[in-house]
Amino acid sequence: MTDNAKFNPASLRTEFGDIDIYVFDQLLRGRIAPGRRVFDAGCGGGRNLVYLLRQGFDVFGNDLNPDAVAKVRALAPESDFRVEAIEDTSFAEASADVVIANAVLHFARDAAHFEAMLRSLWRVLKPGGVFFARLASTIGIEGQLQAEPASSKLAPPTRASGGGRYRLPDGSDCYLVDADTILEWTARLGGELLDPIKTTVVHDQRSMTTWVARRR
């Protein structure tokens, strides 16, 4: 039997679920490791938790969607998952070694909502803990964005424009930040970048940025 014949993608999905490749990268780097409590904000149905649960990680999280929380509770009956908004996180201060905010912060309604979500997540993170966020941004697609119809008075986005709601080339409306905004918030929260800001541009669709920081 050849190596190709032995390969079974379904077995990988059984082991790792649909984990985001950039979360997987943090596992490979040892930043998400056994013995560390992991908080998944806006956890959805638990796409990033399958491997962690199989390996016995202490995981907890929240999501505003009751159906999504019910699904992840079925995966982890003994873990604590709550139906609540990220900005209203009820978990204790400094209760997580790792905070994952994967594809959730760009659903902010405006700058105040973005700040409320971010500060709530930072409150849950322990000093020395790792903050991982994957969020839509303006980086690399500045010239392809339009102001969201409800926010049509926004100036055209630039690298230094900060956050605002814009229509992406794929037609979706999101709250977008740029690199300067990420750096500013990292400093304002008392953090430090663990990795350089990394951005993937999906041609004619969107730009997704990975933000990894440590709380000092």
Give the residues of the chain that fall short of pLDDT 50.
1, 152, 154-161
Contact 118, 100 (CB under 8 A): no
Strand 146-147, strand 206-215: pairing: unpaired
- Write down the pLDDT at residue 161: 42
What is the distance between the alpha carbons of residues 137 and 159, in angstroms, rounded to a whole number? Answer: 10
List the beta strands (DSSP E) in the chain.
37-41, 58-63, 80-83, 96-102, 125-136, 146-147, 164-167, 173-176, 191-193, 198-202, 206-215
b/e code 143-155 from CB counts within 10 Å (16+ = b): ebbebbeeeeeee
Under CATH, to which class is 3-215 assigned? alpha beta
pLDDT at 7: 75
Q: What would the two tokens of residue 59 be?
A: 């995981």
Largest CA distance in the chain: 63
Q: The tokens of 212 are what?
A: 């990894």
Q: Which two tokens stand for residue 160?
A: 């230094």
Question: Do the beta carbons of residue 27 and residue 50 sit within 8 Å?
Answer: no
Residue 93, φ and ψ in degrees, nearest 5: -60, 140
pLDDT given at position 29: 95
85 CB-near residues (< 8 Å, 6+ apart): 62, 64
Spatial CA neighbour of 120 closest among 81, 94, 140 = 94
- Are 137 and 103 in contact, with CB atoms under 8 Å apart? no
Q: Where are the domains of the chain?
A: 3-215
- Tokens for 101? 């905010």
The pLDDT score that the predictor gives to residue 4 is 63
